[in-house]
């Protein structure tokens, strides 16, 4: 393929996604995909067969392709399948989003002869996850072994994955978890309509949480906080948006706390941008995060947020964010939520540094520059 042909056909980049469900990483990659100039760059998605894959139709509509892989825990089958697909499609770049597990995907890309191999870290770790955390730390030194380029969603995630020296030397590209800012602006009509849908009165304090039901999100502590808050504000509501492997445990805990009538679990929604307008405050008591895209989205909506001190402070609109330690009492969290949720709704925070259209141009330039350099060496 020569440079003139590149102008006629988009370059296809292989994005390695692991399980593609409704999590934050999936949301970020799709945000970028929508914002890319797809006449120049197209995304192909490599996902596990076990994925719920709600993005499938949109990917097809936007001109992307997708391929199913075995779980990377089936090491040899995963390697063979991915290597074959990469060779058959003659990709010049693989962009791996599976954090420390990128060792497996980038090794297959290396064996397939793919010249540009991007390791993209979206997270950190916390020792409370036991074997899972141990595996992350064991694989971390190898994740970048076959990478030609290092990406991270923020400074904390970049330093955790690649080390302080690598970060200081400017070897890490920080590509933030960006969003379509205009899509998340506060809308009074959306607030009214959704509160009517969920039978929530306008004056009812509504706490929100958006995220997968996983250990990292610390739903158990969130429910304890809300149980204490509900004692003081009996008409309050907790809106838990998402899905995940801990859903059964979360439902049992809701029932045990006697909160069945005031905790709503609407599942995965395609109107999360409007749900922020229906909330009064977002609570994110996570054990660890990379750079939570939900926090960027909430800030764009002008929604106050009470978050754990484990969440990165790289999101700059601090006037809307209250940070607390997860070692603080539920009473302290409860009062912070009541205070933030009772304040007059602020206007949408300025989030230009997280505007996806701006960063999609950066990413497009990166891919095209890599293509041109590779083409010159042929």
Q: Could you state, in order of their start, the residue ranges of all structural domains in the chain?
A: 3-178+355-377, 182-353
Please check whether residue 278 is in contact with residue 289, taking contact to mean a CB–CB distance below 8 angstroms.
Answer: no
Cα Rg, the chain, nearest whole Å: 21
Residue numbers of the chain with a pLDDT score lower than 50: 1, 318
SS3 at position 116:
strand
Token readout for 129 is 């996850």
What are 206's two structure tokens?
């509504």
Using alpha carbons, select from 43, 94, 103 the residue that is nearest to residue 72: 103
Q: Are 253 and 223 in contact (CB under 8 A)?
A: yes
Residue 1: its pLDDT value, please? 46
Strand 172-174: give its sheet, edge to edge: 65-69, 41-48, 11-18, 93-96, 116-121, 149-152, 172-174
SS3 content of the chain, % helix, strand, coil (to 5): 45, 20, 35
Handedness of CA 89, 95, 99, 100 (dihedral sign): positive
Can you tell me the distance from the alpha carbon of 372 to that of 5, in angstroms, rounded to the nearest whole number?
A: 12
According to the model, what pLDDT value does residue 191 have?
96
On the question of a common fold for 3-178+355-377 and 182-353, the answer reads: yes
Burial label, 208 (beta-carbon count in 10 A; 0-12, 13-18, 19+): buried
Homologous superfamily of 3-178+355-377: Glycogen Phosphorylase B; (3.40.50.2000)
Domain 182-353: assigned CATH number: 3.40.50.2000
For the full predicted model, state whether its pTM sits above 0.75.
yes
Please work out, in degrees rounded to the nearest 5, the angle formed at the alpha carbon of residue 169 by the alpha carbons of 165 and 172: 90
């Amino acid at each position: 393929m020569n440079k003139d042909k590149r102008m006629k056909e988009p370059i296809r980049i292989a994005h390695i996604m692991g399980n593609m469900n409704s999590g934050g990483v999936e949301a970020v990659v799709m945000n970028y995909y929508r914002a890319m100039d797809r006449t120049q760059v197209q995304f192909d998605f490599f996902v596990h067969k076990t994925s719920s894959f709600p993005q499938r139709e949109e990917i097809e509509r936007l001109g992307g392709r997708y391929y199913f892989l075995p779980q990377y825990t089936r090491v040899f089958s995963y390697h063979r399948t991915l290597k074959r697909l990469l060779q058959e499609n003659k990709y010049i770049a693989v962009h791996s989003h599976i954090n420390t597990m990128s060792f497996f995907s980038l090794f297959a890309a290396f064996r397939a002869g793919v010249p540009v191999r991007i390791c993209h870290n979206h997270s950190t770790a916390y020792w409370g996850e036991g074997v899972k955390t141990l595996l992350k730390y064991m694989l971390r030194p190898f994740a970048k072994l076959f990478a030609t380029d290092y990406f991270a969603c923020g400074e904390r995630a970049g330093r955790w994955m690649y080390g302080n020296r690598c970060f200081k030397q400017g070897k890490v590209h920080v590509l933030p978890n960006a969003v379509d800012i205009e899509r998340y602006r506060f809308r009074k009509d959306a607030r009214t309509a959704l509160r009517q849908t969920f039978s929530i009165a306008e004056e009812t304090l509504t706490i929100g949480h958006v995220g997968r039901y996983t250990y990292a999100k610390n739903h158990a502590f969130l429910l304890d906080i809300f149980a204490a808050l509900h004692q003081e504000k009996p008409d309050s509501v907790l809106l838990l948006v998402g899905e995940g492997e801990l859903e059964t445990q979360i439902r049992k805990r809701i029932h045990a706390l006697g909160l069945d009538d005031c905790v709503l679990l609407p599942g995965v929604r395609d109107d999360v941008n409007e749900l922020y307008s229906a909330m009064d405050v977002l609570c994110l008591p996570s054990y660890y995060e990379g750079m939570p895209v939900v926090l960027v989205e909430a800030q764009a909506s002008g929604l106050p947020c009470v978050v754990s001190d484990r969440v990165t402070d790289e999101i700059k609109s601090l006037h809307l964010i209250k940070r607390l330690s997860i070692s603080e009492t539920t009473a302290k969290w409860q009062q912070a939520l009541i205070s933030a949720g009772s304040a007059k709704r602020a206007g949408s925070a300025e989030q230009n540094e997280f505007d996806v259209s701006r960063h999609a141009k950066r990413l497009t330039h990166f891919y095209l520059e890599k293509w041109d350099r590779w083409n010159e060496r042929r």
